[in-house]
């Protein structure tokens, strides 16, 4: 075992990494998710309340949010619940057995090679992330589908900015140990409709194809989430840099160069059959 374990995915037996790290005096950096925050305070306000426009009701602080999930029959919360339980287990291991840990809560990291394209280098079934859904539509020349007019909001961060933050955690154990860090970009907040419009415009430039339309129902979204950056700014002096236009341009350029011909081939084969 090295001096540092970085858990990039949820392992079914957490004892394989957190207890062993604790027993052997090793550091653990654990990747969680912003989904652990659950339903945001702002979503409980009346629809006509002016407070719904106040960003303060959607800002997520690592150590001050109640983490409220939806009812049991809403199965989308199973993932968030499992991630929260692992985070609590790691935190308890630190408190009781001096595990040196850092928990990362990613907020919608995007960039080249971050996502698969359904039916090309990933499964055709299931619903991938919203950016991949839209990318897949653009590559296949299909209209981008929205739910409720695409009014849900997201903040996106470029993968290079996010990796810079993680490297600072690795290089500064004394400032990172025992902390939970939001890693996102609160300045890159857009509605899903705005995201669709931006991607449509950028992809038209990248591919030289005419822009597509956005309409209808499709991708199911959840609450608006804005990461609070106070802790990571204070502990590591880090803040993200890349604008949404620049990160989408880089991502869509890569996806067009990597997937356009493969998608065209698959589409033509399906049409011929």
Q: Residue 58 catalytic?
A: no
Q: Which two tokens stand for residue 179?
A: 């902390």
Distances in Å between the Cα of 270 and the Cα atoms of 118, 119, 219, 221, 264 are: 14, 12, 24, 30, 10
- Give the other-Cβ count within 10 Å of 162's Cβ: 24
153-155 and 189-191 strand pairing? antiparallel
- Give the other-Cβ count within 10 Å of 198's Cβ: 17
Q: Which two tokens stand for residue 135?
A: 């990318």
> Which of 31, 79, 219, 259 is an active site residue?
79
- Active-site positions read 79
């Amino acid at each position: 075992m090295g001096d540092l374990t970085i858990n990039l995915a949820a392992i079914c037996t957490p004892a394989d990494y957190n207890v062993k790290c604790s027993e052997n005096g090793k550091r653990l950096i654990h990747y969680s998710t912003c989904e652990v925050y659950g339903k945001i305070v702002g979503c409980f306000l009346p629809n006509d309340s002016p407070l719904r426009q106040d960003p303060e009701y959607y800002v997520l602080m690592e150590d001050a949010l109640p983490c409220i999930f939806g009812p049991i029959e809403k199965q989308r919360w199973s993932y968030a619940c499992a991630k929260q339980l692992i985070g609590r287990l790691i935190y308890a291991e630190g408190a009781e057995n001096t595990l040196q840990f850092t928990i990362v809560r990613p907020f919608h990291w995007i960039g080249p090679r971050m996502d698969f394209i359904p039916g090309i280098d990933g499964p055709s079934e299931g619903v991938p992330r919203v950016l991949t859904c839209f990318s897949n539509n653009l590559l296949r020349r299909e209209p981008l589908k929205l739910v409720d007019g695409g009014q849900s909001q997201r903040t996106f961060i470029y993968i290079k900015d996010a990796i810079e933050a993680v490297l600072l955690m690795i290089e500064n154990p004394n400032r990172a140990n025992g902390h939970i860090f939001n890693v996102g970009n609160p300045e890159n907040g857009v509605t899903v409709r705005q995201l669709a419009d931006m991607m449509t415009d950028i992809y038209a430039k990248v591919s030289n194809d005419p822009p597509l339309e956005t309409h209808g129902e499709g991708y199911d979204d959840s609450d608006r989430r804005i990461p609070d950056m106070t802790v990571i700014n204070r502990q590591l002096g880090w803040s993200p840099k890349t604008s949404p236009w620049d990160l989408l341009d880089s991502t869509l350029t890569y996806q067009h160069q990597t997937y356009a011909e493969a998608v065209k081939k698959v589409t033509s084969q399906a049409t011929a059959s």
